[in-house]
Amino acid sequence: MTRQMTEAQRAYETKRAAKAGVSLEKWLSQKARDRQQEARAREEAVKPPPPPKKPGFFSRLLDKAHKPLGS
């Protein structure tokens, strides 16, 4: 999925890479990695939260102990 850049885009990215102190190839790979991380973060944000866990043994025992006797 490599996109071809125009001459102007390539010049712009070259200037940004030089300003950051890295080569153009490294700059483009960093940008691609950042885009992938953002996409993963968006996917994680969309996922519904997991269902609540069943109360543990001691929690259930304490709840039972606090209920009144013989209703």
- Tell me the two tokens of residue 63: 């709840």
Global pTM reads 0.56
Helix (H, G, I), strand (E, B) or coil at 11: helix
Q: pLDDT-derived band of residue 2, with 50, 70 and 90 as boundaries?
A: low
State pLDDT tens for residues 6-64. Answer: 999 999 999 999 999 999 999 999 999 999 999 999 998 888 888 888 989 999 999 98
**The pLDDT value given to residue 50:** 85
**The pLDDT value given to residue 1:** 45
What residues does each domain of the chain span?
1-50
